[in-house]
Chain A
Amino acid sequence: MFKKFERAYKPAANASFSHRPFTRKKSCRFCADKVLKIDYKDTRLLRNFVTEKGKIMPRRVTGNCAYHQRKIAKAIKASRNIAIMPYISLNV
């Protein structure tokens, strides 16, 4: 995995061969900013980690580290339980 990212930063030789030319290495938002807190009542933050239909997005899309992805998934599930977040949203 790591080698792939390195290749993406130096597109000189392999640019025509690589299948994903613009893979950028994502960094975990919560590791970078330690003031950010994961709260299950904070919908504004949790909306970023959910698709339009209301599914939880995978780690390879959001770029979270494993620790924070676990926390986010739990927070979303808790907020679904008390009807703050939808299980499925059909209208969007």
Chain B
Amino acid sequence: MKNNIFADINHNFSRKYETVIIINPDLDDSQYNQFVEKIKGIIAKEGAEIISISDWGLRKLSYEIKKISKGRYIVVHFLAKSNVVAELERNLRNTEDCLRYQTVLFTNDLESSKEEAVNV
């Protein structure tokens, strides 16, 4: 019984999330578009809706990740249930071009304005 109740809680509510993804700066435009559409596909497949996808452009990382010192930032806002987030992160973990990702619950404090992209 307890498991059933818990399942209801997990699947009935959909909340706003915000993920920041850092991808390899060496990707071409075509590869980049492929990556973005892959993300869109994952989110859409689960029946969640994407609010916005914004590209910050190239930005200098404050420390090296996998011996790479620059990164391309993507910020995705979407409205989804909690199992979608797990599915997204599982996919991102397996892609090599994704250096980092972070998902946060979207609140009113987070401004959607984009950070100034630093072109180096």
A binding-site residues for B, Cβ under 8 Å: 37-43, 78, 80-87, 89
The yes or no answer to B117 lying at the interface (CB within 8 A) is no
Q: How many residues of B contact A (CB 8 A)?
A: 16
Q: Are B100 and A83 in contact (CB under 8 A)?
A: yes
Query: Most A CB atoms within 10 A — which of B65, B102, B108?
Result: B102
B binding-site residues for A, Cβ under 8 Å: 20, 22, 61-63, 65, 71, 75, 100, 102, 104, 108-111, 115
A86 and B62 in contact, given A81-B100, A81-B102 (Cβ under 8 angstroms) = yes
**Interface SS, A side:** loop
> Which B residues touch A38, using CB under 8 A?
109
Tell me, in angstroms, the Cα distance from A68 to B111 when the chains sit together. Answer: 17
Q: Are A78 and B63 in contact (CB under 8 A)?
A: no
> Which B residues touch A81, using CB under 8 A?
100, 102
A83 and B104 in contact, given A41-B110, A42-B111, A43-B115 (Cβ under 8 angstroms) = no
> Which B residues touch A82, using CB under 8 A?
20, 22, 100, 102
In the assembled complex, the CB of A54 is this many whole angstroms from the nearest CB of chain B, namely 9
In the assembled complex, the CB of B20 is this many whole angstroms from the nearest CB of chain A, namely 5
